[in-house]
Amino acid sequence: MSNPILSICIPTYNRANFLKKNLDSIISQFNDRNIKELVEVVISDNASTDDTAMVVKSFQERFDNIKFFENDQNLLFDRNLLNVIEKSSGEYCLTIGDDDALFSGSLATIISKLKSIRADYFILNSWGYDHDLNRPLLSRPNTQLINDVIFNSLADFVRSIKKHRDLIGYFGGMSTQLFLRNIWMNYEHKNDFLDTQSMHTLVLLSAYKNSRFALLAFPAVKTRSDNMRWNAIPGLETTIRRSKATVESVLWIKKQYSLSISGWKIKVYYLTRGYWVAFKEFTKKILLEMGLKKIIDFYRSLK
């Protein structure tokens, strides 16, 4: 297809079943031919060993606006994200995790917002769902907005954020990021952020700092809970490592945008929280193991 307004960019790895549900949520909106002609789906597969290729090809047989690229080896997250955006051709890119999904009717609304607001960078509203994407975990979307909020620049928005926790809340999730592709492609320092596992966050906050920005109110994305594969992400395998990485990210944003929030408060909050969560996880594991041992001993005593 030529000149789509929107590329839905999906980096994927060994999540065929989840990816199918994601694609179902997208192609169900192609019943509107006008939507189908304005949207392309681009999938970059990180050398999956499951049925990912078969799943995608079953969709390609029905829709000619789905592009699929298979990497020869696992490039890890950052390089795969760069790859999927590079392979796209839309005016705007929406990055979405292979395990998440779009709400019905969201594409028509997104395209309408792109045309009417004409911002360079949008953040979509999301709604956290259970592991099967069947029911919401909260009674409301993640961002409580009645109307869209538009800023002359991303910097104006970042400096309006009152809680440092929201810095990661807004920019940490890949599945809500919608941005003008040519600014991303023309940004020359993307490779500086390789192997951070936060490519989307760092590039967007760097390249779009002075760009027109919009925070959209309507919920567009269903996010799947309890599905992070931390063991597969170098440097983020443990709760403590993730807490330290979060501290580094927030301090980086603080410096990049000259925020007045206290660096010490950031460190104390995230590290204290991280150690507390790690302690609870360790305690839970010990209790489970103790309980399991008692059950095994009980059954052995019956023999």
Structure confidence by residue, pLDDT tens digits, 41-75: 999 999 999 999 999 999 999 999 999 999 999 99
Percent of the chain having pLDDT more than 90? 68
What is the C-alpha end-to-end distance of the chain, expressed in Å?
68
Residues 72-87: what's their mean pLDDT? 95
Q: Provide the angle, in degrees to the nearest 10, between the axes of the packed helices 239-256 and 199-207.
A: 10
Which ranges in the chain are annotated with CATH 3.90.550.10? 6-227
pLDDT band at 270 (very low <50, low <70, confident <90, very high): low
Q: Rounded mean pLDDT of the chain?
A: 89
Residues 219-232: what's their mean pLDDT? 78
> For 158-177, how does the pLDDT look when each residue is reduced to its tens digit (9 = 90+)?
999 988 788 888 998 999 99
**Calpha distance 44→67 (Å, rounded):** 9
What CATH code would you report for 6-227? 3.90.550.10
More confident residue, 210 or 292: 210
**Calpha distance 75→81 (Å, rounded):** 9
More confident residue, 251 or 101: 101
Q: Which of 232, 224, 173, 226 lies closest to 18 in space, CA to CA? A: 224
Q: What is the chain's length?
A: 303
Residue type, 18: F
* C-alpha to C-alpha distances, 190 to 79, 82, 102, 115, 131, nearest whole angstrom: 10, 9, 27, 27, 32
Q: Which of 19, 201, 187 lies closest to 100 in space, CA to CA? A: 19
pLDDT band at 113 (very low <50, low <70, confident <90, very high): very high
**Calpha distance 31→106 (Å, rounded):** 13
**Calpha distance 72→60 (Å, rounded):** 20
